Amino acid sequence: MQTNKDVPLAADELEVLIIGAGFGGLGAAIKLKQAGIHRFLVIERAQDVGGTWRDNQYPGAACDIPSKLYSYSFAPNPLWSRIYSGSKEILAYIHHVVQTYKLEPVLRFGQEVSGMTFDEAAGLWTVSTQAGATFKARSVIMATGGLANPNTPRINGIGSFAGKVIHSARWDHDYDFTGKRVGVIGTGASAVQIVPELVKRAGFVKVFQRTPAWVLPRANFAIPAWGQKIYGKSNGAYGAARGALYWLHEVMALALVWHSPLTHLVENRASAHLKRQVKEPWLRRQLTPNFRVGCKRVLISNAYYPALQKPNCKLLTWPIDRIVPGGLRTVEGVEHQLDCLVLATGFDAPKNSTPFPITGLNGRVLADEWKQGAQAYKSMTVSGYPNVFFILGPNSGPGHNSALFYIEQQIGYAVQGIQARLKSGCKFLDVRPEIQKAHNQELQARLSKTNWQSGCKSWYLTDEGFNATMFPGFATQYAKQLKQFNAQHYSSR
Ligand code: NAP
């Protein structure tokens, strides 16, 4: 429906531009097509789809959410080979989805966005890329990913290292680790997967730990052929398995999001895992966390503790003083000679910045407004930046359930918002500032009661301790708030 207010799009203008071709962007493309909205493109800075699963191909890379749950609900894959699939298999699934839904024609690669600006009179976003292209679109779906840009740690002398430096999210598959002296910085979700693989090949591996994490055992068995057959034949069996996994993870919120008796149960389970796998008291002490489980990301691994105890592996807990050309010096003065430094140091999650300048109504710049911490309405829209929908935006992170479930809710909300604008015929919808403010006041009050705010330092928080990343509730609650796009919460022009 088109009303007088609507300014028709010119031939080269899009209804929607999706930025990013990972799970979020591709899912949005599928749902736009299914909603009958065909005038859109997906732009991607790399040369392939896949987002974090394209980038994180380090040895041992896998997802710690079961695959039946960490996949689109509308694109079941009965052939998942294991409970927790590896990164290669997840990337193959993404490619399969792209083919199945015939997305190739709408994909544009090599388009790294340099900035986007809103033209109020035309009701259009202009998105420029470093490749020199310009896209004009009524709406933008920001699917740039929360964990897209590697974090290079600010350690003195990091640029002076003469050996090889590899970040976990930018693996160099041509580098031969055989016999090499390797230092691994970081002991998070990436490191616990990399270290067991590195010890198989390297001469020795020194793991530099700043903070020990809670580690739970991982029940990762292969799905037998007969099981895959059943899932292939019966949507009911697949759906039941996915549903069971969903509710199992929902219950985990009681332990990981809030402090409850279940929190202690999970801590006891992790402590028992440590006790069973590490017999040496000194090492066990070094690996015992001093913060509440759930405060930082809980890790799952059966292979990490055994790997640390291999003759060619050593855990080092002295703080790092500086990197030197020949290796790394710890504060007690020991210099560790290294051929290769593996940075398993995580990502620059966009907690108080944007991946590129976003200029909204009256020249306001989103990064300036987010300096103290990113905020949005229901993680999806930001006042002053009309017709922009964020996938995995502020406070949308799950600590206990599948990010894919959250992404699907966000896509549904974005498509509804775009449809609402089309239906009303207005040029743009802009969330009301008072609605956004009230939402965030309530959200922060709820966050203050969660385990994430219980005193540890994590990538969920800004340096000042503001939580701009996590959603303080069950996935079911998150889905409920995004079920219905409420146009009354938006002003239209
Ligand atoms: P991370 O959880 O942020 O861990 C980074 C590690 O590097 C931490 O141990 C951190 O120590 C250490 N570090 C950072 N800067 C340092 C410095 N200057 N000096 C010494 N140590 C430093 O990163 P990640 O392991 O890549 O995981 C990030 C997120 O990606 C996870 O939380 C998860 O959401 C996702 N992920 C998931 C999987 C999976 O599904 N299996 C796998 C990988 C990643 P501190 O703890 O002291 O800060």
Whether residues 461 and 413 fall in one domain? yes
Please report the pLDDT score of residue 9 as a whole number.
Answer: 84
Whether residues 188 and 61 fall in one domain? no
Whether 263 is covered by a domain: the verdict is: no
Query: Closest Cα to atom 8, ligand 1: which residue?
Result: 186
| % of the chain at pLDDT higher than 90 | 96
Cα 191 to averaged position of ligand 1 atoms, centre (Å): 7
CA–CA separation, 40 and 127 (whole Å): 13
**Token output for 1:** 């429906």
Evaluate if residue 1 carries a pLDDT over 80. Answer: no
**Model-wide pTM > 0.85:** yes
Whether 246 is covered by a domain: the verdict is: no
Contact yes or no for 231/237 (Cβ under 8 A): yes
Contact yes or no for 315/286 (Cβ under 8 A): yes
Tell me if 299 CB under 6 Å of ligand 1.
no
Please report the pLDDT score of residue 6 as a whole number.
Answer: 60
Whether residues 20 and 59 fall in one domain? yes
Whether 6 is covered by a domain: the verdict is: no
Q: Which of 278, 309, 343 delimits the end of a domain?
A: 343
Average pLDDT value for residue range 162-174: 97
Its domain, for residue 396, covers 13-149+348-492
Whether residues 164 and 89 fall in one domain? no
CA–CA separation, 358 and 147 (whole Å): 19
Whether residues 179 and 306 fall in one domain? yes
CA–CA separation, 214 and 253 (whole Å): 16
What are the distances in angstroms from CA 320 to CA 182, 189, 204, 326, 343?
Answer: 15, 20, 18, 14, 13
Query: Closest Cα to atom 43, ligand 1: which residue?
Result: 190
Whether residues 375 and 487 fall in one domain? yes
Per residue in 174-185, pLDDT (tens digit) is 999 999 999 999
Evaluate if residue 2 carries a pLDDT over 90. Answer: no
Per residue in 261-287, pLDDT (tens digit) is 999 999 999 999 999 999 999 999 999
Tell me if 297 CB under 6 Å of ligand 1.
yes
Evaluate if residue 108 carries a pLDDT over 80. Answer: yes
Please report the pLDDT score of residue 476 as a whole number.
Answer: 98
Whether residues 52 and 100 fall in one domain? yes
Please report the pLDDT score of residue 3 as a whole number.
Answer: 41
Per residue in 414-466, pLDDT (tens digit) is 999 999 999 999 999 999 999 999 999 999 999 999 999 999 999 999 999 99
Please tell me whether residue 404 adopts helix, strand or coil conformation. Answer: helix
What are the distances in angstroms from CA 157 to CA 128, 154, 269, 327?
Answer: 35, 9, 40, 10
Per residue in 462-485, pLDDT (tens digit) is 999 999 999 999 999 999 999 999
Residue pointed to by tokens 């490619």: 95
The CATH number for 207's domain is: 3.50.50.60
Please tell me whether residue 93 adopts helix, strand or coil conformation. Answer: helix
Whether residues 184 and 75 fall in one domain? no
Whether residues 96 and 32 fall in one domain? yes
Average pLDDT value for residue range 122-142: 97
Query: Closest Cα to atom 20, ligand 1: which residue?
Result: 210
Whether residues 374 and 465 fall in one domain? yes
Residue 347, CB half-sphere, CA atoms under 13 Å: how many?
A: 18
**Residue 343 CA: which ligand 1 atom is closest?**
7
E strand or H helix that includes residue 208: strand 204-208
Average pLDDT value for residue range 41-54: 97
**Token output for 15:** 């209804």
Query: Closest Cα to atom 4, ligand 1: which residue?
Result: 188
Average pLDDT value for residue range 13-25: 98
**Residue 187 CA: which ligand 1 atom is closest?**
9
Tally of domains within the chain: 2
Please report the pLDDT score of residue 11 as a whole number.
Answer: 77
Tell me if 185 CB under 6 Å of ligand 1.
yes
What are the distances in angstroms from CA 292 to CA 73, 264, 271, 346, 450?
Answer: 32, 9, 12, 21, 11
Whether residues 206 and 128 fall in one domain? no
Whether residues 308 and 454 fall in one domain? no
CA–CA separation, 245 and 318 (whole Å): 40
